[in-house]
Copies of this chain bind each other. A is one copy, B any other.
Amino acid sequence: MLKANIYVTLKNGVLDPQGEAVKKSLKILDFGQVNQVRIGKFIEVWLESRDQAAAIKELEEMSDKLLANPVIEDYRVEIVEVNQS
């Protein structure tokens, strides 16, 4: 077993309506120091695999195909845990 995190973020330059709204609300809630907020996805994936290199390849393929939309999003894959069982 192996656990990976995938971070999907909006590309630079793509407007983030949700991030903007959150920033506005934070300002209203008196968090005056907030400069910018961007909201992306945090995807946790558990795989039946112990081969890290192969897993990374697979996870990148998943992200390219489905998890991220390359027109607007970037992603980053990270293996966080490998369980020998």
Partner of A66, one of B9, B29, B61, B67: B29
Q: Is A56 an interface residue (CB 8 A)?
A: no
What band does the interface of chain A fall in when counting residues whose beta carbon is under 8 Å from B?
20 to 34
- Given the known inter-chain contacts A22-B66, A22-B67, A66-B25, please indicate yes or no for A37 contacting B31, CB distance below 8 A: no
Q: Which residues from 1 to 40 on chain A have a C-beta closer than 8 Å to any C-beta of chain B?
A: 1, 7-9, 19, 22, 25-26, 29, 31, 33-40
Taking A37-B43, A40-B43 as known contacts, 17 extra A-B pairs with beta carbons closer than 8 A to each other, sorted by chain A number, are A7-B42, A9-B42, A22-B66, A25-B66, A31-B62, A33-B47, A36-B45, A37-B46, A38-B44, A39-B41, A39-B42, A39-B44, A40-B41, A40-B42, A40-B44, A41-B41, A42-B42
